[in-house]
Amino acid sequence: MAAPEVHHLFHNPIADHSFSADRKTLAIARDTTVELYGKVGSAFKLKDELKGHDKTVTSVDIAPNSGRIVSCSQDRNALVWEPSPQGVYKPTLVLLRINRAATFVRWSPSETKFAVGSGDRVIAVCYFEEENDWWVSKHLKKPIRSTITTVAWHPNSVLLAAGSTDAHARVFSSFIKGVDARPDPGVWGERLPFNTVCGEYMNNSAGWVHAVAFSPSGDALAFAAHDSSITVVYPSGPDLPPKAIISISTQLLPFMSLIWNGEAEIIAAGYDCEAFRFKGGVQGWQLSGTLEAKGRPGLGEGREESALNMFKQMDLKGKTKDDTQLKTVHQNTITTLRPFESSGAAVKKFSSSGVDGRIVIWHT
Amino acid sequence: MSIIQQHTAASLSDAWRTINIDALEEDSSVNFDTSTLHPALPEISEADVRQINTQVRQLLRGGDAEGALRGSLEMPVYNGSDLAKETHLHTVIEVLQSIKASEMTPMLQRIYGTPGGSECLDVLMKYLYKGMAATSAADGSSSAPRTPTRMTPQQTGFSQVGGRPGGANESTGGAMSVLLSWHEKVVEVAGLGCIGRCMTDWRKV
More confident residue, A298 or B72: B72
**Is A228–B29 a contact, with Cβ atoms under 8 angstroms apart?**
no
More confident residue, B2 or B119: B119
Provide the edge-to-edge strand list for the sheet that holds A78-83.
Answer: A57-62, A69-73, A78-83, A89-94, A134-140, A123-129, A113-118, A102-107
Residue pair A209/A225 in contact by the 8 Å Cβ criterion: yes
pLDDT tens for each residue of A325-345: 888 999 999 999 999 999 989
Q: How far is B185 from chain A (nearest CA, A)?
A: 13
pLDDT at residue B8 is higher than 70: no
Q: Helix B101-113 and helix B167-190: axis angle, to 10°? A: 40
Q: For strands A229-234 and A221-225, give the pairing.
A: antiparallel
Question: Across all residues in chain A, what is the average pLDDT?
Answer: 92
Residue B112: predicted pLDDT: 94
Residue B160: predicted pLDDT: 45
Q: How far is B108 from chain A (nearest CA, A)?
A: 14
The residue among B34, B37, B111 with the most chain A CBs within 10 A of its CB, best to mutate, is B37
ipTM value for the complex: 0.83
**Residue A350: band (very low, low, confident or very high) from pLDDT cuts 50, 70, 90:** very high
Q: What is the DSSP letter of A3?
A: P
Residue B3: predicted pLDDT: 53
pLDDT tens for each residue of A11-66: 999 999 999 999 999 999 999 999 999 999 999 999 999 999 999 999 999 999 99
Q: Which CATH architecture has domain A5-299+334-363?
A: 7 Propeller (2.130)
Average pLDDT over residues B96-105: 92
**Residue B139: band (very low, low, confident or very high) from pLDDT cuts 50, 70, 90:** low
pLDDT at residue B142 is higher than 50: no
The residue among A121, A147, A205, A229 with the most chain B CBs within 10 A of its CB, best to mutate, is A205
pLDDT at residue A97 is higher than 70: yes
Q: Which residues of A touch B197 (CB under 8 A)?
A: 205, 207, 227-229, 249
Domains and CATH numbers, chain B: 40-142+167-205 (1.25.40.190)
Residue pair B127/B92 in contact by the 8 Å Cβ criterion: yes
**Residue A83: band (very low, low, confident or very high) from pLDDT cuts 50, 70, 90:** very high
**Is A206–B202 a contact, with Cβ atoms under 8 angstroms apart?**
yes
Q: Which residues of A touch B196 (CB under 8 A)?
A: 207, 226-228, 253-254
pLDDT at residue A142 is higher than 90: no
**Residue A322: band (very low, low, confident or very high) from pLDDT cuts 50, 70, 90:** low
Of A168, A269, A249, the residue nearest B196 (C-alpha): A249
Residue A71: predicted pLDDT: 97
Q: Which residues of A touch B32 (CB under 8 A)?
A: 145
Give the start-to-end residue ranges of the domains of chain A. 5-299+334-363
Of A239, A224, A329, the residue nearest A275 (C-alpha): A329
Q: Which residues of B touch A255 (CB under 8 A)?
A: none
Average pLDDT over residues B154-161: 44
Average pLDDT over residues A162-185: 93
Of A298, A145, A168, the residue nearest A221 (C-alpha): A168
Q: How far is A60 from chain B (nearest CA, A)?
A: 27
Longest dimension (CA), chain B: 88
Would you call the peptide bond into B39 cis, given omega within 30 degrees of 0 as the criterion?
no
Q: Which residues of A touch B27 (CB under 8 A)?
A: 121
pLDDT at residue B146 is higher than 80: no
Residue of B nearest to A252 (CA): B193
Q: Which burial class, exposed, middle or buried, applies to A16 when counting CB atoms under 10 A from its CB (0-12, 13-18, 19+)?
A: buried
A34, β-bridge pairs: A29, A50
Q: Which residues of A touch B40 (CB under 8 A)?
A: none
